[in-house]
Amino acid sequence: MRIRIYKWILCWSIMASSLQAETPNIVVIMADDVGLGDIGFQHKERTGGQKPFAETPNIDALAEAGMWFTDAHSPTSLCSPTRYAVMSGNYNYRSYAPWGVWGSFRETPIKPEDATLGRVAQHAGYKTGFVGKWHLGGDFHKKSSKEFYRGNDRGETDLDVDATEWISGGPQDMGFDYDFTLPTGVQGPFYVAYENGKWHPLSENSKLINLNKNTAKDPFFVSDKGPGTGDSEWDATEMNVILAEKAANFIRSNADEPFFLCYWSPAVHIPHTPPDSIDGKPIKGTTITRHLDMVRVLDLEVKEIVDALKETGEYDNTLIIFTSDNGGLWNSKNHENGHLSSGGWRGNKNAPHEGGQRVPFIAVWPGHIPAGSRSDALVNGTDILATIAAITGENLEDHQAMDSWNLLPAFRGSENFESREELMLQSGSRHELMFRQGPWKLIIDSNHHLTQMDPVALFNLETNPQEKESENLINNPEYKERAEAMFKRYMEIREGGERTAPKNS
């Protein structure tokens, strides 16, 4: 009998270990305004091994431990609209605000019937946490009534908004059990931190004031987005460290059950406010620009999270995905000295060219994703949601995550993985639309309401990866039929509302 019991215990232990290995913890890290070339791994590869101006050893370690995607994109080349697409698995044109929900107090574009990263993981039994920059709107009461404030978030005078409580439209409505959130990151004009929907005072002396260049602890903390409601103790140099600590604490507090952490760092968005040091390591002034100082800050945020996973023994049973919300920033001093945030592609954040939305995309899952592997699959930030659904065994409805491809077969190197052949993207404030078919890329000029649409560029990225205008084929008679067919196909997809990704693949 004793032998049978031991055999049963051994069998149960093996099954439990197998089950745990197939239901990993999941950590999704999305940086802000980080381009391919901001990652030391890509910089060294592009330059033949030259030392980067801002080393990123912790992000590089992820690339070396997992899979690096060479044709990865953010859904848009701008922050807020990308966040909708990543959170919901939908292209932006499915939102009521396809160009982005920029106001802190605008209604969120994510509907109750939508799948979200948090809802999928939470329904699968995961403990879910969101830490970082939101930028997807939210519901706050007015001071004068219980109506939701829908006015401007920027101004030199006090707003009629009760900023002490985030009523709805935030992370807790999107399936997150815990959150520590900055509504607009460090860029403002809403300079307040929230923990589980409640204002989190940054010190015992904190008050909610109109934060402007006269009232801020340092005028530099008020970004070019302008003044607005803020915590009187707001110190932008401290925010990334606070966020990383909150993320690490979430991991430590939930290591005894499957957890999902969505960490959206505000680095390296302006204002570039590096701290003097982090954990005794000098930061401010250690590179040629504040921008690159902040790249180092981001790398140390990643370190904090990875260290917490290793400390709790959860690293080997965790899928980590690292990416960015759009391409890198232009900085003339960086560029002159050989640091190309775009990784050598044309354009930067906001642009319709590849540098605007080519982003780092790294997946690490020890024992499941081969270390040091690469994939040339055409992937997008929308794909994270379907991948999480596949890993957790959750089924998506027909109307959910309509543009999200399951990347799990790619992670495992399956020969049966068929990546998308078509990808719909958009730029930023100039409202260009981009359509990929294999190596072919069509750029469409449009206005805000899409009442005017005009194809303006056709590039073959295999023969013209730099998108040189001298090789723009849009007016070449030989390629007229291709340009017209691609434009027609783009409009058919968009106007027909069809799903672009297989469901529950």
Instruction: Give backbone dihedrals phi and psi of 294, rounded to 5 degrees, phi first.
Output: -70, -25
Pairing assessment for the beta strands 318-324 and 440-446 based on DSSP bridges: unpaired
* Beta bridge partner(s), residue 259: 127
Which residues does residue 181 pair with via DSSP β-bridges, in sequence order?
A: 132, 194
Q: Rounded mean pLDDT of 60-82? A: 98
**Which residue, 177, 198, 85, is CA-closest to 135?**
85
Cα 79 from Cα 427, distance rounded (Å) = 10
- pLDDT, tens digit, 9 for 90 and up, residues 215-240: 999 999 999 899 999 999 999 999 99
pLDDT at 25 over 90: yes
Q: Does the bond joining 189 to the residue before it have cis omega, within 30 degrees of 0? A: yes
- Tell me how far apart the alpha carbons of residues 355 and 269 are, in angstroms, rounded to a whole number: 16
Confidence of residue 22 (pLDDT cuts 50, 70, 90): low
Spatial separation of the C-alpha atoms in residues 438 and 284, rounded to whole Å = 43
Q: What is the mean pLDDT of residues 117-146?
A: 98
- Residue 17 pLDDT > 60: no
Sheet bearing 259-264, strands edge to edge: 198-199, 194-195, 178-182, 127-133, 259-264, 25-31, 318-324, 362-364, 67-73, 373-380
Contact 120, 392 (CB under 8 A): yes
pLDDT given at position 320? 98
β-strand pairing of 362-364 with 25-31: unpaired
Q: What token pair was written down for 258?
A: 């499957």
Distance CA 498, CA 292 (A): 42
Could you report the per-residue pLDDT of 347-405, keeping only the tens digit for each? 999 999 999 999 999 999 999 999 999 999 999 999 999 999 999 999 999 999 999 99
Amino acid, res. 34: V
Average pLDDT, the chain: 94
| Cα distances (Å, whole numbers) of residue 385 to 78, 119, 203, 500 | 19, 10, 36, 14
Structural domain boundaries in the chain:
21-422
Query: Is the Cα dihedral 328, 333, 335, 338 positive or negative?
Result: negative
pLDDT class of 504 with cuts at 50, 70, 90: confident
Query: Is the distance from CB of 313 to CB of 355 less than 8 angstroms?
Result: no
For tokens 């020890």, the residue is 366
Residue-level pLDDT at 2: 37
State the Cα–Cα distance between residues 202 and 194, nearest whole angstrom: 10
Q: How far apart are alpha carbons 97 and 426 in whole angstroms?
A: 13
Check: CB of residue 380 under 8 Å from CB of residue 323. no
What is the reported pLDDT for 12? 33
Neighbours of 469 (CB within 10 A): 10
Between CA 419 and CA 477 the distance in angstroms is 31
Q: Name the pTM for this structure.
A: 0.95
Lookup result for tokens 């329904």: 123
Nearest to residue 434, comparing CAs of 323, 358, 499? 358
Amino acid at 408: L
- Least Cα distance to 385 among 89, 73, 85, 177 occurs for 89
Residue 3, pLDDT above cutoff 50: no
What is the mean pLDDT of the segment spanning 446-473? Answer: 93
Banded model confidence at residue 8, pLDDT cuts 50, 70, 90: very low
Nearest Cα neighbor of 253 from 127, 396, 385 is 127
CA dihedral sign of residues 303, 308, 313, 315: negative
Instruction: Decide if pLDDT at 499 tops 80.
Output: yes
Report the pLDDT value the prediction gives residue 16, as an integer from 0 to 100: 34
- Range with the poorest average pLDDT among 12-21, 190-199, 238-247, 257-266: 12-21
Which residue spans within 288-390 are E strands per DSSP?
A: 318-324, 362-364, 373-380
Give the three-class secondary structure for 495.
helix
What is the arithmetic mean of pLDDT over 395-424? 94
Q: Which pLDDT band, with edges at 50, 70 and 90, does 65 fall under?
A: very high
For 451, half-sphere exposure in the C-beta direction (CA atoms, 13 angstrom radius) is 2
Tell me the residue type at 46. R
Length of the chain: 505
Q: Assign residue 493 a region: left if phi > 0, alpha if psi is -120 to 50, beta otherwise? A: alpha
Residue 1: the pLDDT is: 38
> Using CA atoms, how far apart are residues 156 and 203, in angstroms rounded to an integer?
23
Query: What is the chain's Cα-based Rg?
Result: 23
pLDDT of residue 399: 97
Percent of the chain with pLDDT over 90: 91
pLDDT of residue 447 exceeding 90, the answer is no
Residue 448 has pLDDT above 80, yes or no: no
- pLDDT at site 6: 36
**Other beta carbons less than 10 A from residue 288's beta carbon:** 16
Q: pLDDT band at 427, cuts 50/70/90?
A: very high
On the 0-12 / 13-18 / 19+ scale of CB atoms within 10 A, 201 is middle
Q: Locate 491 and state its tokens.
A: 């409009």
Q: CATH assignment of 21-422?
A: 3.40.720.10
Model confidence at 10: pLDDT above 50: no
Cβ neighbours of residue 108 under 8 Å, at least 6 residues apart? 101, 136, 137, 138, 139, 169, 170, 173
**Mean pLDDT of the 245-267 span:** 98
Are 173 and 138 spatial neighbours (Cβ–Cβ below 8 Å)? no
- Report how far residue 61's alpha carbon sits from residue 310's, in angstroms, rounded to the nearest whole number: 14
